[in-house]
Amino acid sequence: MTSTDFNPEVLEQGTVMGSDGDTIGKVGQVYLDNDTGAPKWVTVKTGWFGSSESFVPLESATVDGDAIRVPYDKDMIKGAPQNEAGVPLTESDEHELYGYYGVGGQASGDAELATSHDGAPADSNSEYLTRSEEQLHVGTETVETGRARLRKFVVTENQTVTVPVSHEEVRLVREPIGAGEATGDETIGDGNTDVVLSEERGVVKKETVPVERISLGTETVTEQQEVTEAVRKEQVEFDDGSTADRSDGPAADQSGENR
């Protein structure tokens, strides 16, 4: 059931939904009004793996189960003025945020955290620095690197095939004639007779037939590639009045007074 009655413990477990119905992120921190003690702001975890937190006012928000619906989209929330999550909001911070979201809430000054996520009260009186560093988040993208084209063309070559052929040749055939055998040509004179000769010759015919099917295919080959990028990190040092500053850099002792 939709409600505007905000319970800090419920809000801490909630998910912020934008005006377009998309999920923006998990609630990071809940901030209470100093005067009334009612929830006034929540931070939303956005960015890579929830690495950033943006402030959202609860003035026009509603709660439905663990969904906190706000009248803003994700781009607007991510573009809100940046304040350090886990630190009380000053009156100036609230005025800036109200102006950005275009709402008319009253800035009470130093809006406080409800509790830390481990259930311990937030200590708003301690003074501290937050050390930050850049982290690499590496992914991959697919880009076109070239094209392969399959084409065919015609070449001419000579091909020799041996085929058996036959032909007729002339030879004399002599047959003796017996005594008294009549031949019908007993005169003496000139004469001739013809014999037709024949031979086989090689004949070539051509036909086009399909002999092979060819196509282009691809395969994926995985290899390791190193990606190098410069990242910045903050280091902390302090001066306690001695002759040298002390630092918590990589070579410093992290367990003692360097904090």
Tens of pLDDT, residue by residue over 4-24, are: 678 888 888 889 999 888 888
66 three-class SS: coil
Contacts of 26 (CB under 8 A, 6+ apart): 14, 15, 16, 44, 45, 50
> What share of the chain has pLDDT > 70, as a percent?
80
pLDDT at position 59 is 87
Residue spans per domain, the chain: 2-121
Question: Do strands 112-113 and 15-17 pair parallel, antiparallel, or not at all (unpaired)?
Answer: unpaired
Tens of pLDDT, residue by residue over 198-234, are: 999 999 999 999 999 999 999 999 999 998 999 999 8
Tens of pLDDT, residue by residue over 59-78, are: 889 988 888 999 999 889 98
Question: Rounded mean pLDDT of 169-177?
Answer: 90
pLDDT at position 245 is 54
Is the pTM higher than 0.75? no
Token duo for residue 28: 């990071």
Distance, in Å, from the CA atom of 37 to the CA atom of 31, rounded to the nearest integer, reads 9
pLDDT at position 136 is 85
Tens of pLDDT, residue by residue over 105-139, are: 655 555 656 644 444 444 444 467 788 888 888 88
Which one of 3.40.50.1100, 3.40.50.2300, 3.90.50.10, 3.40.50.2000 gives the CATH number of domain 2-121? Answer: 3.90.50.10
List 67's β-bridge partners, or say none: 15, 64
pLDDT at position 124 is 43
pLDDT at position 200 is 94
CB atoms within 10 A of CB 107: 17
